[in-house]
Structure 1
Amino acid sequence: MFIRAYLRASTKDQDANRAEQDLKDFAQSRGLTIAATYRENESGASLKRPELFRLLSDSEAGDVLLVEQVDRLSRLNAQDWDSLKAEIAERRLRVVALDLPTSWQMLETSRDDIHGRMLDAINGMMLDMLAAIARKDYEDRRRRQAQGIERAKDEGRYRGRPEDTKRNNALMKMLSDGQSWASIVDATGVSRSTLAKLSKRLKKVTETEVS
């Protein structure tokens, strides 16, 4: 059994170091060691998370997918959550979350069949509940944000988020120098969606210069 830690932050400003230490402390307190750690800066509301699927690809039956909180694993809608659960189940992984005490017993390597099936059922039900709560929290925050923007527009106060021009210019330089997206993400923590936007902008600039 290998323990694979998954750390997700939705923006580069969210520091995952504390969460990583919490996961290490949790494992060590049980005499266990984290075999590999997977980090990425992507939204939990999207299934497009390369590091999560690299973790799944690296895993073998009986391995543990360890997260700090269930919402680090999923803020997905019901359909996408079902897809992710099916992938996890197919690979026979055990999901353990620090905010879900019922999952901690999944770390036991020796479980009789009946006990194991009962734990799986209870843990699955609790995971579903916390994933649903995480999704609702995500949707509520998005709705409040949209309402706030609409009010600001009505009152003439909305200016949008200022662009980090210095950062974006540096990222476009890295792209133009031929650096891979993966290496840029690893080095800067920027999201792939941001790189996609900057890549399109760089392409337009290049086309304009050529013409």
Structure 2
Amino acid sequence: MFVRAYLRASTSQQDASRARGALDAFATERGLRIAARYMENESGAKLDRPELFRLLADCDPGDVLLVEQVDRLSRLTAPDWMKLRSEIDAKQVRIVALDLPTSWSLAATSDEFTARMFSAVNNMMLDVLAAVARKDYDDRRRRQSEGTARAKAAGLYKGRPENKARNVAIAAMLGDGRTWREVMDATGCSRTLLAKIARDVRERRAEADEAPCPPL
């Protein structure tokens, strides 16, 4: 049995390694050794998370996926959560979360009956906490949207200031032929922002091509 720790933060401005100490302490207290750590800065509300799926690909049946909280693993919609659960179940990976005490026993060796009982209880609790995490995500998004709408109505909303230095760097990387994934990994920008900057780069190139040549 290998223990693989998954650490996630939503944005590049957040520290994905923040929970490393808590996960290490949990493993040490139980005489376990964390074989590998997988860190990424991706939203838990999206299924496309390269490091999480690299972790699952590395797992053998019976390995433990250790997380600080269930919401580090999922803030997914119900259909996407079921897709992820299917992948986890197919690999026979045991999910252990520090905020889910019913899962702690899965990090210890036990007889088949006990293991199956704890696994059944844990799977039910995982589904519940995944649903709660998604609801919390939706509620926060709704409150943010309502706050923005009120600020706009009052003429107080100015929007998020543009990170000009980062956007110039992104445009330069695109100009050098770097892939979108390479740019996102290097800068932490979203796909939406990257698409906007790529479109701006194309438009500037088109304008430059159409500009008349200066007279000799």
TM-score normalised by length of structure 1: 0.90
Deviation at 1:85, TM superposition (A): 0.5
8 Å contact kept, 1:41–1:190: no
- Structure 1's unaligned 5+ residue stretches are none
Deviation at 1:81, TM superposition (A): 0.8
Q: 1:122 & 1:136 partners in 2: Cα distance?
A: 21
Q: CA 1:180–1:139 in structure 2 vs 1: closer, same or farther (change >3 Å)?
A: same
Give 3-state SS (helix, strand or coil) of 1:17's partner: coil
Q: 1:50 & 1:192 partners in 2: Cα distance?
A: 14
Deviation at 1:174, TM superposition (A): 2.4
Give the structure with higher Rg (CA).
Answer: 2
Q: CA 1:80–1:128 in structure 2 vs 1: closer, same or farther (change >3 Å)?
A: same
Q: 1:161 & 1:173 partners in 2: Cα distance?
A: 22
Deviation at 1:10, TM superposition (A): 0.9
User: Equivalent residue for 1:61?
Assistant: 61
Deviation at 1:201, TM superposition (A): 3.1
Q: 2:36 & 2:174 partners in 1: Cα distance?
A: 29
User: Equivalent residue for 1:124?
Assistant: 123
- Give yes or no for the alignment of 1:106 onto 2:103: no
- Give yes or no for the alignment of 1:14 onto 2:47: no
Give 3-state SS (helix, strand or coil) of 2:99's partner: coil
CA displacement, residues 134-158 of structure 1 (integer Å, 9 cap, x when unaligned): 1111111111111111111111111
Q: 2:13 & 2:30 partners in 1: Cα distance?
A: 31
Deviation at 1:32, TM superposition (A): 1.8
Q: CA 1:106–1:45 in structure 2 vs 1: closer, same or farther (change >3 Å)?
A: same
Identity, in percent, stands at: 58
- Structure 2's unaligned 5+ residue stretches are 211-216
Q: 1:204 & 1:40 partners in 2: Cα distance?
A: 32
8 Å contact kept, 2:16–2:40: no
CA displacement, residues 180-200 of structure 1 (integer Å, 9 cap, x when unaligned): 445444444444554344333
User: Equivalent residue for 2:135?
Assistant: 136
Q: How many residues align?
A: 210
- Give yes or no for the alignment of 1:162 onto 2:148: no
8 Å contact kept, 1:40–1:189: no
Where relative contact order (Cα < 8 A, 6+ residues apart) is larger, the structure is: 1
User: Equivalent residue for 2:213?
Assistant: none
Measured on the aligned residues, the alpha-carbon RMSD in Å equals 1.9
User: Equivalent residue for 2:73?
Assistant: 73
User: Equivalent residue for 1:152?
Assistant: 151
Q: 1:206 & 1:36 partners in 2: Cα distance?
A: 45
Q: 2:37 & 2:196 partners in 1: Cα distance?
A: 28
Q: 1:78 & 1:184 partners in 2: Cα distance?
A: 30
- Give yes or no for the alignment of 1:36 onto 2:40: no
Q: CA 1:205–1:37 in structure 2 vs 1: closer, same or farther (change >3 Å)?
A: farther
Q: 2:66 & 2:191 partners in 1: Cα distance?
A: 24
TM-score normalised by length of structure 2: 0.88
* More off after superposition, 53-62 vs 139-148: 53-62
Q: 2:59 & 2:191 partners in 1: Cα distance?
A: 24
